[in-house]
Amino acid sequence: MRSKLPDFTKKVVVLSWMTTDGSRSLAYPRWERQGGRLFLVGEVPVGGSRNDWLKGGQAAVAWEMVSDYLVFDSLADYQKRRSIYANRRRNG
């Protein structure tokens, strides 16, 4: 039986890896097959990389490497929650 893949096209998704503590945030991701592997491909949003050096860039994550993920309903929701986290870090 084939599993239906989630539709993230209007969402922001934060993916965590099985092998490290790393993660990647993708805005409006879509599914792509590349080299026989399934990838989630999207744009790195503001707040999606340290010092925002990747913002606006395209990133692809191999689905088989993902251990878990968080889904935000919109870019505005993601940015609002990121700003809450950033404020808490600044204010200790």
pLDDT single digits (tens) 77-90: 999 988 887 777 67
Domain for residue 77, yes or no? yes
pLDDT single digits (tens) 29-44: 999 999 999 999 999 9
Which structure tokens are listed for 45? Answer: 């949003």
Which structure tokens are listed for 4? Answer: 């239906």
Beta carbons within 10 angstroms of residue 39's beta carbon:
19
User: How many whole angstroms from its chain centre is CA 24?
Assistant: 5
Domain for residue 83, yes or no? yes
pLDDT, residue 85, reads 72
Q: Residue 50 pLDDT more than 90?
A: no
What is the count of structural domains for the chain? Answer: 1
In the sheet with 58-62, reading across from the earlier edge strand, the strands are 58-62, 37-43, 23-34, 12-17, 66-72
Domain for residue 59, yes or no? yes
Q: Containing domain of residue 70, as a range?
A: 12-90
